[in-house]
Amino acid sequence: MFFVIGIGDNETRKAVLEMYPLDYGCAIHPSAVIGLQVEIGKGTVIMAGCAINPRTVIGKHCILNTMSSIDHDNQIGDYVHISPGASLGGAVTIGNGTHVGIGANVRNNVCICDEVVIGAGATVVRNLVRPDTYVGVPARVCT
């Protein structure tokens, strides 16, 4: 028997997991499409219709939500939440604790640091090097 925690808020999910050191596995919906050479960390939840392309590495205790698209060669940190309908281009790096909002897009070869929030519908076209909330097209710091 194994467990997963499906709490959407990254900080809350991490706090609950630290309180309960259990044997965590992965929960993968049968309609998810997972390519070759994909590594998935313990405690990760992959929802219906999610597509993960080859050579992607997904950290521990992530949520890849309904119909999200993760292209090839991505590096996704621990405690990341990719919301429904979000799309990551190829060779994207997502830092620990980052939240990618509903329908957001991240261009190929972009690096996003730890603890970033990307708003719903935002389009990230450049590296995000400081923790903050980014919104709009192209994504900018929310003021």
Residues designated catalytic: 72
| Sequence-separated (6 or more) residues with CB below 8 Å from residue 90 | 53, 71, 72, 73, 74, 108, 109
- H-helix segments, 9-70: 10-19
Phi, then psi, of 94 in degrees rounded to 5: -115, 125
Kind of pairing, strands 111-112 and 133-135? unpaired
